[in-house]
A = this chain, B = another copy of it.
């Protein structure tokens, strides 16, 4: 096999397909390859120094997720962002996370959960002050994941990640809006309501938080109209 200069993929213990998949997924989410941009199995396989098979299998996975559009005999493009996908993604995420909140407020022992939430809030406070958005969003994820984990539903979290991916695409597409203070405040409200077992407050706080992203559609469309379909 042609090892070439692209040895980055030949290192660790996953299948080629996995590594190619991870690589492409990251490129799509970071917009290193842009919506509607054409992808070629042959080109990519050469660039990554692997054969067409793992590239193709990675393509198929990504098509499954709605991140690629494969058109037989025509080509493969990064799926444009679609408002319909966004709405679907948001509906599903909201359904999942509100269901998790309902579980969380009914937890007989919520000390661990509240400790975890508090931990992330402190981290977020620091990251927000230091303007470290990557770290902030990492803790943001951990905050939401903690709810699932401490409800004994850790295996639900990957599913939430799956359904919220299309929402995340929109967030990646716009310059981050320096809105970490707002998000932190919303997280505080959510955590407080959950720990007080105030279901109604927790649900409305979470709903507000999750729908905050609604403006993303318009913003992303304004900033990068070429990424959109229709």
The residue on B at minimum CB distance from A95 is: B99
Chain B residues lying within 8 Å of A61, measured Cβ to Cβ, are 60, 64
Can you list 19 A-B pairs, Cβ within 8 angstroms, ordered by A? A15-B72, A57-B57, A57-B60, A60-B60, A61-B64, A64-B64, A84-B155, A88-B153, A88-B155, A88-B156, A88-B159, A91-B156, A92-B96, A92-B156, A94-B99, A95-B95, A95-B96, A95-B98, A159-B163
Interface of A, secondary structure class, is: helix
Chain B residues lying within 8 Å of A156, measured Cβ to Cβ, are 88, 91-92
5 closest A-B pairs by beta carbon, nearest first, are A95-B99, A95-B95, A95-B96, A88-B155, A91-B156
Instruction: Please report which residues of chain A, range 88-108, place their CB below 8 angstroms from some CB of chain B when the two chains form the complex.
Output: 88, 91-92, 94-96, 98-99
Instruction: Please report which residues of chain A, range 28-79, place their CB below 8 angstroms from some CB of chain B when the two chains form the complex.
Output: 57, 60-61, 64, 72
Given contact pairs A72-B15, A98-B99, A99-B98, A92 touches B60 in the complex (Cβ within 8 A) = no
CB A167 to nearest CB in B, in angstroms, measures 14
Chain B residues lying within 8 Å of A98, measured Cβ to Cβ, are 95, 99
How many angstroms from the CA of A163 to the CA of B160 in the assembled complex? 12
Chain B residues lying within 8 Å of A91, measured Cβ to Cβ, are 99, 153, 156
Chain B residues lying within 8 Å of A99, measured Cβ to Cβ, are 91, 94-95, 98
CB A163 to nearest CB in B, in angstroms, measures 8
Chain B residues lying within 8 Å of A153, measured Cβ to Cβ, are 88, 91
Interface centre among A94, A95, A156 (most CB of B within 10 A): A95
The residue on B at minimum CB distance from A15 is: B72
Chain B residues lying within 8 Å of A57, measured Cβ to Cβ, are 57, 60
The residue on B at minimum CB distance from A103 is: B91
The residue on B at minimum CB distance from A151 is: B91
